[in-house]
Amino acid sequence: MRRRERVFVVLLSPALIVLALVTLAPFAFLLLTSLTPLNLAKPATWWDFHRPLANFVDLPADGRFLNSLGVQLRLSAFTVLGQLLLGLGAALLLNRRSRVLEAIRALFIIPMVLPPIVVAIIWKVLFTPDISVLNWILGLAHLPQPAWLAEPRLALPAIVVADVWEWFPFTLLMLLAALQMMPAEPIEAARIDGAGTWQVFRHVVLPLLRPAIVVTVLFRLIESVKAFPLIFIMTGGGPGTVTEATNYYAFLQGFTYSLLGFSAAISVVVLAGTFLLSYVIVRWVGTRVDVE
């Protein structure tokens, strides 16, 4: 038995060492960087720990950072809500035993597996007036044909539409799996007691779905911070700073203005939020949950 345990340690160690090198070391380095005013253009700012918390003190006073939090909040809220509603609707629709529907299900996953850059290009094509088939259809119906991505009021909604399209297959898959393992008895019982379709859904199906919905929403919330390629290709954070989400703002500060110290501080804040949500997932649902 002792020998067996030793073999396992040998099998595990290389992976854990590499994992620590590529994940823990960068986290530590990121944290250190966030305590410096590191500016790539000024060599003197390397390892300058004179005012370690300066970046974090500056953050709440930075209007553009606060704006980015607001953008991120709206982006996350609307995309996750959209994905939940569309995914739930589609899951209820596809939750029938049928060969045809099973074949169709597989095709619904395509948006979510596409390279994000391709998703961004797809929607850039649909929202750019020069080439937009969408605008042509609106024109046929004598409706206004806006320049979606250049219009301050429409740019963020356009990105939300693209993101909902990209990720509703995820909520669809998760909720469909939950629906399929739902026990049939309570639904039958409610039917026999004379409950209509809506009542069965509202009082039986929805409560049973709740845990799956909570987990799905948490996963999507965490991932919603990563809408980078959509913003980069579709709007570049504009017009103005209307679509400049926190992640994108950190990218600009770090890799356009070379202010890596400040950018690291923003990243630490975002990372803390991610960690908190991951912690909630692990605590609430344990390390593994069967959804099938």
Kindly state the smallest distance separating residue 53's Cβ from another protein, in Å: 18
Burial of 239 (0-12, 13-18, 19+ CB in 10 A): middle
Torsion-angle region of residue 151: left (phi > 0), alpha (psi -120 to 50) or beta?
Answer: beta
Kindly state the smallest distance separating residue 63's Cβ from another protein, in Å: 20
Kindly state the smallest distance separating residue 186's Cβ from another protein, in Å: 20
Kindly state the smallest distance separating residue 80's Cβ from another protein, in Å: 15
Residues 218-233 as b or e (16 or more Cβ within 10 Å = b): bbbbbbbbebbbbbeb
Closest to another protein by CB, 208 vs 281, is 281
Closest to another protein by CB, 125 vs 206, is 125
Closest to another protein by CB, 67 vs 274, is 274
Torsion angle defined by CA atoms of residues 94, 96, 101 and 104, in that order, rounded to the nearest 10 degrees: 30
Kindly state the smallest distance separating residue 106's Cβ from another protein, in Å: 5
Place of tokens 């099998």: 11
- Which residues have C-beta within 8 Å of that of residue 264, sequence separation ≥ 6? 30, 31, 33, 34, 38, 55, 254
Kindly state the smallest distance separating residue 55's Cβ from another protein, in Å: 12
Residues 167-181 as b or e (16 or more Cβ within 10 Å = b): bbbbbbbbbbebbee
Check: CB of residue 247 under 8 Å from CB of residue 69.
Answer: no
